Amino acid sequence: MKLFLSEKDIQKRVSGLAREISKDFAGRELLLIGVLKGAFIFMADLTRELSLPVKTDFVRLASYGSGTQSSGKVEITKDVETSIRGKDVLVVEDIIDTGITLKYLTKRLKARKPRSLKVVALLDKPSRRKVDFQADYLGFEVEDHFVVGYGLDCDEAYRNLPGIYLL
């Protein structure tokens, strides 16, 4: 494995994202919806950095199985439990790869009529995109490498690494 992003680099960028999001949603309550399992560490750090009232919920979508390539099919294994109607919603994702999962999720969430719906992603692999999708807030771009650490895994391993590594 080769270090791609250090813990310090990640924390600096998470703080910057939190400042931007806090400014954009100033005076409003924000519902964060974390995409499990990969985004849980990013979401925890981001939540602590936000300077506005937040509530949290989670959704779990599977598209990888145990491999390193997306299957292209999205399966919901845990849905959002909170009503999002009329709320400002921020989906928190670890990485945008093909875009299929987030496009599916945002379409599904928009049907529930939130006041607003935005996406923050820690990482983006634009070279892998199969559908048109852009995050509203983005941490870092990464080339077409498989990355692990800071919540990202390979067959459930490496999530606990404090930095992000190229596998």
Residue 73's pLDDT is what? 80
166 contact partners, CB below 8 Å, separation of at least 6 = 1, 2, 3, 4, 145, 146, 147
97 is catalytic: yes
Q: Which of 97, 132, 136, 144 is catalytic?
A: 97
Q: Is the dihedral of CA 55, 81, 129, 67 positive or negative?
A: positive
Residue 69 confidence (pLDDT) above 70: no
Among 6, 88, 16, CA closest to 46: 16
Query: What CATH code would you report for 2-166?
Result: 3.40.50.2020
pTM to 2 decimal places: 0.92
Among 165, 156, 152, CA closest to 66: 156
Domain boundaries defined on the chain:
2-166
Rounded to whole angstroms, the Cα distance separating 73 from 24 reads 33
Rounded to whole angstroms, the Cα distance separating 125 from 19 reads 24
pLDDT per position as a tens digit, 92-127 = 999 999 999 999 999 999 999 999 999 999 999 999
What is the rounded radius of gyration, in angstroms, for the C-alpha atoms of the chain? 15
Residue 62's pLDDT is what? 80
**Angle formed at CA 102 by CA 80 and CA 69, multiple of 5 degrees:** 115
Residue 159 confidence (pLDDT) above 80: yes
